[in-house]
């Protein structure tokens, strides 16, 4: 059924290397998204009208534009419009960070606003100063809300990186296709085995992270 191809030469290692490319892009993008998202989220919580309008438009773009369209715009569009020749991987990181930052910012804003006013009031009436209120009462609550959701963002990022093959990055799917092509004669059914294995590889990459996110969410639920 096409599994034998995997045992030939270093095919399995090549697939895993392909997966590593996807994972690398995801983790870099998540790291950037968290940093930028937290900053933007805090800015959004101030409810400045100018920031509100700009971020609304930004979030709406991210909400309705498929990541694939964004990838095309950044990868093909910049070359044409700005004359910059962007590396495909850089384009991917830009797009995923653009998307991830919006998601994180919205989560941070939501978490900030979800802390009931009474929490601030009771901290202050206990004699805590502004800094202490944030340090001991507000921020710990926000972090508990944020962490499971940010971990969840990692899995979505990993899944979405499968799209980067469409702009020519050699990741796991592309490697899979190459192996299938190379073994067309010897193993005509390779497509079944290879794509099933890639399916399971993605599952093994994402599932533990999903479980962790769910576990933390349950644990910190109040």
Partner 1 sequence: MNLDVIISYIPLYIEAFFLTIRIGWLGILFALAIGLVVAFIMHFKIPFLSGIALVYIELFRNTPLLVQLFFIYFGLPKVGLSISAETCGFVGLGLLGGSYMAEVFRSGLESVPNSQTESALALGLSRKQLFLSVILPQAISQSVPGILANVIFLLKETSVFSAISLMDLMFTAKDLIGLYYDTKEALFLLVIFYIIMLLPVSVIGSFIEKKARFRTLGV
The footprint of partner 1 on residues 122-181 (CB under 8 A) is: 155, 159-160, 162-163, 165-166, 173, 176, 180
Residue 141 vs 189, nearer CB to partner 1: 189
> In terms of Cα–Cα distance, which of 19, 18, 7 is closest to 190?
7
| Among the listed residues 76, 136, 215, 220, the single contact to partner 1 using CB under 8 A | 76
Stretch touching partner 1 by CB under 8 A, among 40-48, 82-90, 139-147, 198-206: 198-206
CB 113 within 8 Å of CB 152 = no
Stretch touching partner 1 by CB under 8 A, among 11-19, 69-77, 88-96, 109-117: 69-77
The pair of three-digit structure tokens given for residue 190, joined into one six-digit string: 């390779």
Residues that contact partner 1, how many (by CB under 8 A) = 43
| Among the listed residues 148, 154, 194, 213, the single contact to partner 1 using CB under 8 A | 194
- 193 torsion bin: left (phi>0), alpha (psi -120 to 50), beta (else): alpha
* Least gap, CB of 162 to partner 1 (angstroms): 4
Q: Measuring CA to CA, how many Å separate 48 from each of 35, 42, 53, 54, 63?
A: 21, 11, 9, 10, 21
* 118 binds partner 1, rule: CB under 8 A: no
* 20 binds partner 1, rule: CB under 8 A: no
* 195 binds partner 1, rule: CB under 8 A: yes
DSSP string for 156-180:
HHHHHGGGGGGGT---HHHHHHHHH
Residue 82 vs 131, nearer CB to partner 1: 82
Phi, psi at 221, each rounded to 5°: -65, 135
* Least gap, CB of 180 to partner 1 (angstroms): 8
Residue 34 vs 180, nearer CB to partner 1: 180
* Contacts with 87 (C-beta within 8 Å, 6 or more apart), sequence order: none
Q: Measuring CA to CA, how many Å separate 133 from each of 39, 42, 108?
A: 19, 16, 18
What's the number of CA atoms in the CB half-sphere (13 Å) around residue 109? 21
* 69 binds partner 1, rule: CB under 8 A: yes
Judged by the rule CB under 8 A, the positions of this chain that interact with partner 1 are 1-2, 60, 63-69, 72-73, 76-77, 79-81, 155, 159-160, 162-163, 165-166, 173, 176, 180, 188-196, 198-199, 202-203, 206-207, 210
């Amino acid at each position: 059924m096409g599994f034998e191809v995997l045992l030939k030469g270093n095919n399995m290692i090549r697939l895993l290397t392909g997966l590593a490319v996807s994972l690398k892009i995801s983790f870099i993008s998540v790291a950037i998204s968290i940093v930028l998202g937290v900053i933007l989220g805090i800015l959004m919580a101030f409810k400045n009208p100018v920031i509100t309008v700009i971020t609304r438009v930004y979030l709406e773009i991210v909400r309705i534009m498929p990541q694939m369209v964004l990838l095309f715009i950044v990868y093909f569009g910049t070359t044409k419009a700005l004359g910059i020749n962007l590396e495909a991987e850089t384009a991917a990181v830009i797009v995923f960070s653009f998307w991830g930052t919006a998601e994180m910012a919205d989560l941070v804003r939501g978490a900030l606003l979800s802390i009931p006013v009474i929490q601030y009031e009771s901290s202050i009436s206990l004699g805590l100063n502004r800094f202490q209120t944030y340090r001991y009462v507000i921020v710990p609550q926000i972090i508990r809300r944020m962490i499971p959701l940010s971990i969840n963002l990692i899995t979505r990022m990993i899944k979405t990186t499968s799209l980067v093959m469409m702009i020519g990055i050699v990741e796991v799917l592309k490697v899979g296709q190459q192996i299938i092509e190379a073994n067309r004669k010897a193993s005509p059914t390779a497509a079944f085995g290879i794509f099933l294995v890639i399916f399971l590889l993605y599952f093994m990459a994402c599932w533990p992270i999903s479980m962790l996110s769910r576990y933390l969410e349950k644990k910190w639920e109040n």
